Chains A and B, each alone.
Chain A
Amino acid sequence: MSGGPENVRAARAATIAFAAATVGGIAAAVGYATDNTGDLLGLGLAVALTGIGFGFVAWAKYLDLNEYVQQAREPLAVTAADREVFAEERALTDETLGRRRLLLALSGAALLSLVAGFVGPIGSLGPKPRGERDRTAWRQGSRLVTSEGVPVDAASDGFDQLVTVFPEGAVGRDDSQVVLLRVRPDLLSERTVEQGAVEGWVAYSKICTHAGCSVGLFGIDDRPPDVIRQLVCPCHQSVFDPVDAAKPVGGPATRSLPQLPLGIDADGNLVATDAFDGPVGPLAWDEA
């Protein structure tokens, strides 16, 4: 039966495949032993696995098995006899279990109380929110420090350079990350100045109000006619305008980045003159 030329070809293919697979497996072992895990181990295993798989399929083709066997489908539909049995069982259930309605109701209540009883331990997964989200580490008078802990001298020439700063003593604290930027003071909008810009320095929460990524990109588009400065969130491409209170000007964000009011202390370093007045970043539905 295995006489046809295709079948001989399939047998040859299976032979080669299994032989190659054997070589592959040995190559993988050699690869591991010789520390060649980058290529030889993986490719050897790949050849072994693919060879075995190909070999089996070629072998099946060589057998030239009948691919056109017919089998009847058994009917799936419920028959009249089945229906009768269900009806009888149903009647029996009503008669036996249904007679004790009180027991039925009580067993239901017992099971429900079990569910209620197990809600408690789920609550242990995390504390109740107690307004932590409303408070960052920023306080009135907090000095701005870089991630290395260095204060920012208000006289330094940081024009058009973005720096990430934290309140002194809370470097790296997630909800207190702030971007600091200096631009020519006359570029800033009136409300930006009112909300606490000083000598061209502006500071905004670094957490995107859309989905919480760090707004770490600062770009200047100096193609005529206007020079446009942008703060961009790298995750979903929300764009904020740093010279106008970080209002959203593009992308999916709907709310401005909260602005941190700035001042200068006796040493000439930048400080916060107040805390943020609410949660920063993305909000829960009742925090708006």
Chain B
Amino acid sequence: MTESFSGANDSVGRASASEPPDDGVWGREPPEENRVPDPSKDEIEGTSATSAEAPATRQRRGPMERYVESVLGRMGGGSGAGKALRKVFPSHFSFLWGEVALYCFVVLLATGTYLTLFYEGSQSEVVYDGSYEPLRGTEMSAAYASTLSISLDVKGGLLIRQMHHWAALVFVGAIALHMARVFFTGAFRKPREINWVVGVLLLILSLAAGFTGYSLPDDLLSGTGLRITHAIILAIPFVGERTTYLLFGGEWPGTDIIGRLYPVHILLIPALIVALLGLHLGLVWRQKHTQFKGPGRTERNVVGEQVWPSFAMKSIGLMFMTAGVITAMGALFHVNAVWLYGPYDTAAATSYSQPDWYIGFLEGSVRILPPWETRIGGFMINHLVFSAILIPGAIFGALLVVPWIERRFTKDDAEHHLLDRPRDAPIRTATGAAAIAFVSVLFLGGSQDVIAGTLNISIGHVTTLLQVGALVAPPVTWYVTYRLCRVLADRPGAERTERGGAVRRDSSGGYHSVADPSTDPDGANGDAESETGTPGRDVAHASRSSETTT
């Protein structure tokens, strides 16, 4: 085992050494001697770029080497592949959210494919004769019957269905956190404006995927959601009524909508997500990832771990862990137990009916906006136009133009690869926090009946409170966040985002920080190092630094 490991480490050292010197073009590079390369491996620098294998293995080429070389030899991609494997990605826990979202999508594709093998996207009437006693003999759509069958009769089907649902919930959550990270660190600034827009479109698509999938079981709860959607589309001026007829194949409820949502959910939206995801990741690859400020990190470089094997192993590990957690959720927690809701019946609706969490803000908007309706001549702009079209439209519209709004205020046209800490840009951070406060109030509004029931106060009072909250919370949040940023910005600690040096306890019991030279190539912490970096205090540390900076 140890042998293969040291082989892997060789490639790291070599890779660092064979990086082209990055001074000269850029004036502000750290001096040569502060760079990471390992001079002990200098002799490899002369080898041609196509040799992805270590010299030792080149002499005895196994089937793997021969295979790789034969493929690359036909694509002319030898040096490119080597370069790709050695590409550097900075690491920070907040960079993981996007990866979690990506891996949720992988889980969604895998579990979703399984579900399509059993699901029947049709509203044709059937009489249920499956194993769930309470609904036996009930008339229902084939869609609902097949969902019951997946849940209760297909062995292991419920697990896969619940994994799919949980993965969708986590997917949108991870996207939201990823987006918040990108926003609050200013990662959307030049040159990444396009990728921000692609990301917002991916968010919208993920919501559309969630909503269409949620509607497919054709249970009472999702049917109610579709009915509300119908009313929202109906309210659109000029085209509303015609559009509902096109979507639903005639007057509500019709017999077509489930069969139409199905291909949209399993083909159209996933295809668009895959396409935009490719663009999203391609742009990240091309533009290189942003990094937090820290010793040795500049606008002209990227400091982190290489794709192979370090980043790849951890990322693949994250993929399996994401899938593992989703599987555990699917095994342990019921989600959307549609057999309890019963089939969709247009004359029924249940109280305490909430959509999936990511539609909560829209539900809240529809619930707590005061009963406004405008009549012009014989025409009417009704409540739903405001609450379900204009408010969400404003939210997503604002998200789309975030990079350009900021540029208008800051007049900053420079490229940024170093991230801000949120406190470094108090106005941006405060504005983002205010927006989150507003959306959070709407989200609470989406379950105002549950809040009222739990606290045993009247729904009307809760609604009024939330209406006031929607107006008051954003400015208050803005001010508090702004002040907080100002206070924090006055504190020292730019290096806190950096992984600090190891802390060691000496024989007398005292603790000392041991600055890690590999994090500190430009000697910014030179003083601290001379104070605490007593030689010989930490064997493991010393061996590591000898490998990277000798």
- The chain A residues found within 8 Å of chain B, CB to CB, are 1-7, 32, 35, 37-39, 41-43, 45-57, 59-60, 62-73, 75-77, 122-123, 125-129, 132-133, 147, 164, 172, 174-175, 177, 206, 210-214, 216-217, 233-237, 239, 248, 250-255, 281-288
Chain A contacts for B252, CB-based, 8 A:
174-175, 212
Contact of A54 with B317 at beta-carbon distance under 8 Å, contacts A1-B547, A126-B250 already known? yes
> B174: CB under 8 A from chain A?
no
* Residue from the list B8, B319, B331, B449 in contact with A63, Cβ < 8 A: B8
> B440: CB under 8 A from chain A?
no
B24 CB to closest chain A CB (Å) equals: 10
Q: What is the chain B residue whose CB lies nearest that of A59?
A: B313
A70 touches B521 (CB 8 A): yes
Most chain A beta-carbon contacts within 10 A, residue among B15, B35, B304: B304
| CA gap between A125 and B463 in the complex, in Å | 40
* Residue from the list B331, B382, B449 in contact with A43, Cβ < 8 A: B331
| CA gap between A65 and B158 in the complex, in Å | 41
* Residue from the list B191, B246, B375 in contact with A123, Cβ < 8 A: B246
* Residue from the list A1, A5, A38, A129 in contact with B245, Cβ < 8 A: A129
Q: What is the chain B residue whose CB lies nearest that of A234?
A: B351
| CA gap between A51 and B499 in the complex, in Å | 26
What are 17 A-to-B residue pairs whose CB atoms are below 8 Å?
A32-B156, A56-B314, A64-B9, A65-B306, A67-B499, A69-B19, A70-B19, A126-B249, A128-B245, A210-B231, A214-B346, A234-B449, A251-B371, A251-B463, A252-B371, A283-B234, A285-B236
* Residue from the list B8, B317, B366 in contact with A211, Cβ < 8 A: B366
Contact of A213 with B228 at beta-carbon distance under 8 Å, contacts A68-B36, A126-B247 already known? yes
| CA gap between A63 and B253 in the complex, in Å | 60
Question: 1/0 per position for B441-473, CB-CB distance to A under 8 A?
Answer: 000000011000000000110010000000000
* Residue from the list B6, B156, B547 in contact with A41, Cβ < 8 A: B156
B549 CB to closest chain A CB (Å) equals: 9
B550 CB to closest chain A CB (Å) equals: 13
| CA gap between A217 and B13 in the complex, in Å | 71
Contact of A66 with B19 at beta-carbon distance under 8 Å, contacts A42-B327, A283-B382 already known? no
A76 touches B415 (CB 8 A): yes
Chain B contacts for A164, CB-based, 8 A:
347
> B224: CB under 8 A from chain A?
yes
| CA gap between A239 and B460 in the complex, in Å | 10
| CA gap between A238 and B349 in the complex, in Å | 13
Chain B contacts for A216, CB-based, 8 A:
348-349
| CA gap between A35 and B156 in the complex, in Å | 9
A3 touches B540 (CB 8 A): yes
Chain A contacts for B408, CB-based, 8 A:
none
What 10 A-B pairs come out closest when comparing CB atoms? A42-B331, A4-B540, A50-B324, A53-B320, A72-B22, A53-B321, A56-B317, A49-B324, A288-B380, A46-B328
B321 touches A73 (CB 8 A): no
Chain B contacts for A253, CB-based, 8 A:
371, 383
Most chain A beta-carbon contacts within 10 A, residue among B155, B230, B249, B324: B324
7 extra interface residue pairs, beta carbon distance < 8 Å, beyond A147-B347, A237-B449 = A2-B2, A66-B36, A72-B302, A75-B25, A211-B228, A254-B372, A286-B378
Chain A contacts for B304, CB-based, 8 A:
67-69
B307 CB to closest chain A CB (Å) equals: 10
A63 touches B155 (CB 8 A): no
B514 CB to closest chain A CB (Å) equals: 13
Chain A contacts for B93, CB-based, 8 A:
none
Question: 1/0 per position for B373-401, CB-CB distance to A under 8 A?
Answer: 10100111111110100000000000000
| CA gap between A236 and B449 in the complex, in Å | 9
B317 touches A69 (CB 8 A): no
> B323: CB under 8 A from chain A?
yes
B506 CB to closest chain A CB (Å) equals: 16
> B325: CB under 8 A from chain A?
yes
Q: What is the chain A residue whose CB lies nearest that of B297?
A: A70
A48 touches B324 (CB 8 A): yes
> B251: CB under 8 A from chain A?
yes
Which size bracket describes the interface of B in this complex? 35 or more
Question: 1/0 per position for B514-550, CB-CB distance to A under 8 A?
Answer: 0000110100000000000000000111011001100
Name the prevailing secondary structure of the B interface residues. Answer: helix
A285 touches B235 (CB 8 A): yes
Contact of A285 with B380 at beta-carbon distance under 8 Å, contacts A49-B320, A73-B301 already known? yes
A235 CB to closest chain B CB (Å) equals: 6
> B238: CB under 8 A from chain A?
yes
A2 touches B5 (CB 8 A): yes
A77 touches B253 (CB 8 A): no
Contact of A53 with B322 at beta-carbon distance under 8 Å, contacts A70-B521, A252-B369 already known? yes
> B20: CB under 8 A from chain A?
yes
Chain B contacts for A50, CB-based, 8 A:
320-321, 324-325, 328
Chain A contacts for B88, CB-based, 8 A:
69-71
A53 touches B228 (CB 8 A): no
Q: What is the chain B residue whose CB lies nearest that of A40?
A: B331
Q: What is the chain B residue whose CB lies nearest that of A281?
A: B231
A66 touches B331 (CB 8 A): no
B317 touches A60 (CB 8 A): yes
Contact of A71 with B371 at beta-carbon distance under 8 Å, contacts A213-B228, A237-B463 already known? no
| CA gap between A41 and B327 in the complex, in Å | 10
* Residue from the list A37, A69, A211 in contact with B303, Cβ < 8 A: A69
* Residue from the list B2, B35, B159, B373 in contact with A254, Cβ < 8 A: B373
Chain A contacts for B348, CB-based, 8 A:
214, 216
| CA gap between A3 and B165 in the complex, in Å | 45
Contact of A7 with B540 at beta-carbon distance under 8 Å, contacts A70-B301, A128-B242, A128-B245 already known? yes
Question: 1/0 per position for B471-504, CB-CB distance to A under 8 A?
Answer: 0000000000000000000000000000100000
A288 touches B347 (CB 8 A): no
A206 touches B347 (CB 8 A): yes
B259 CB to closest chain A CB (Å) equals: 12
A55 touches B242 (CB 8 A): no
| CA gap between A66 and B350 in the complex, in Å | 57
A32 touches B317 (CB 8 A): no
| CA gap between A133 and B234 in the complex, in Å | 11
A284 touches B234 (CB 8 A): yes
| CA gap between A5 and B499 in the complex, in Å | 19
| CA gap between A164 and B231 in the complex, in Å | 22
> B293: CB under 8 A from chain A?
no
> B432: CB under 8 A from chain A?
no
| CA gap between A158 and B459 in the complex, in Å | 28
